[in-house]
Structure formats: C-alpha cells, structure tokens
Amino acid sequence: MIIYFNRFEKRERKTMNGIWILLVLIFTAALPVIIVFFWFRIRKSTVTLPWFLVSFAAGIISLLAAALIQGLIPEFDLRGYNRPRYFFFNIFIRIALVEEASRLITLIPLLKAGKHRLGMNRSYAAALGFVAGLGFATLESALYGMADISITLLRIFTAAPLHGACGIRVSTAVLNFEKHPFSAPFLFITSVLIHGVYNLMIESPIFPSALAILVSLAGLITALPYITGVEMDDENHPS
C-alpha cells in the first residue's frame, strides 16, 4: 500500500510539473501579443477586446489550416543533385506561400465582417492582421517549445515579429484589393518573399542565424506604418 501511494504521489507530482511547464510555455509564447494589447491600449486604439480576441483566434485557425495543407504536400528527398531545387521549394512554397495563403484565406472573412460592421479603415485592418499574425506565432512557438522552451524564447524575437509583419501586409492587401487591385497582390507577394527569406536565413548553413532576426525586425518596422500612419481614407473610420 505504501509503495502504491508513493507511485501515485510521484505521478501526481509529474502531472503538476507538466501543467506548470505548459502554462509557463503558453505565457512565454503569448508575451508578444500581450505587449501588443497594452500597446494598443496606450495608443487608445479603436480595436476592441472582442475583435482583438477574434483576430487572435483567426491566427490560430490559419496555423491549423496551413498545417493541414502542408501535410498534403509531399516532402522531397533533399539528397542528390535536385537538393537546391527542392530546398527552395520547401522554403518558399511549402512553408512561406502556404502559410501566407492560409493567413489570407482566414483574414478575408474576418475583414469582410469587420468592414461591414465597423466601416473599417486601413489602420484598423492592419491592426487586426497584426494580432492574427501573432496568434499564428503564439501557437507555433508553444508547439516548438514543447521540445525545448529556449526555442520559444528565441521565437519571441524572430517568428513573432515576422508573422506580425506578414499579417499586417496580408490584411492590408485584403482591404485594398477593391480600390487598389494592382498594389494589393504586391503586398501579398512581399509577405511571401519576406517569409521565405526568413526561412532561408534559418535553414541555410551559409547564412548566420542572426540575420533572421534582422529580416523579421525589418519586416515589422516597414509594416508598422500601416497601423500607425495617418489614414488617407477618413470616410471609412470605424465607429
């Protein structure tokens, strides 16, 4: 009986430790989106809490959609003379294009609903795309962190800014498509290219991994004006 209770106690202790580790992991992965939430409040952003949470959930859904699509695409053997071709296919198509397309598909109904209910402008749409991108990064970082929590800490400074920047570009492309049908696809293409270059910095032994941080931060810095800039079309400001 004593042995049984000792085993039960050890099992319970391991379970509690696992729960605490999981909670710490989720909180760590969510730090970027928490910081952005308070940044929105400080700026007195018109993005309400319900739309913030819906956008965050949309980002999680986009990750699940991307994972499903990527599971249907076969992984090529990277050995042999076709290695460079398949390497770039994996980085720019299987990962970057599929994830940005999944983001696009998820953001279209979200932004259409927002435009119908809020009379959404570009800044508002970009903010929702930013949060959706961080939602994608939060779940992805938590999943990676299950193997090594240090990976989650690293992704706060790399993957989170990257997906946030791409989310801003894709959401702006969705909103601009009707009025600017030529510039909107360009924004989507740039999100795929930035994402692909980031992956290249991470995966290729030729480049130092530190370049991935520069790519993600540069992508975010150049995308933030879509949120912070003065909206030119004032007739569509959200109420």
Q: Is 115 helix (H, G, I), strand (E, B) or coil?
A: helix
> Rounded distance, CA 70 to CA 53, Å?
26
What pLDDT is stored for residue 76 in this prediction? 65
Is 100:170 a contact under the CB 8 Å cutoff? Answer: yes
What pLDDT is stored for residue 18 in this prediction? 56
Question: Count of alpha carbons within 13 Å of 48, Cβ hemisphere only?
Answer: 8
How far is Cα of residue 49 from the mean position of the Cα atoms in its chain?
19
What pLDDT is stored for residue 85 in this prediction? 75
Per-residue pLDDT of the chain (239 residues; tens, 9 = 90+): 444 334 434 444 444 455 667 677 888 889 999 999 999 999 988 899 999 999 999 999 999 999 999 999 877 655 544 577 778 888 999 999 999 999 999 999 999 888 766 667 889 999 999 999 999 999 998 888 777 777 777 788 889 999 999 999 999 999 888 777 788 899 999 999 999 999 998 888 888 878 889 999 999 999 999 998 744 443 444 43
Is 172:98 a contact under the CB 8 Å cutoff? Answer: no
What burial class does residue 20 get, using C-beta atoms within 10 Å of its C-beta: 0-12 exposed, 13-18 middle, 19+ buried? exposed
Is 71:95 a contact under the CB 8 Å cutoff? Answer: no
What pLDDT is stored for residue 17 in this prediction? 58
Domain definitions of the chain by residue range:
2-236
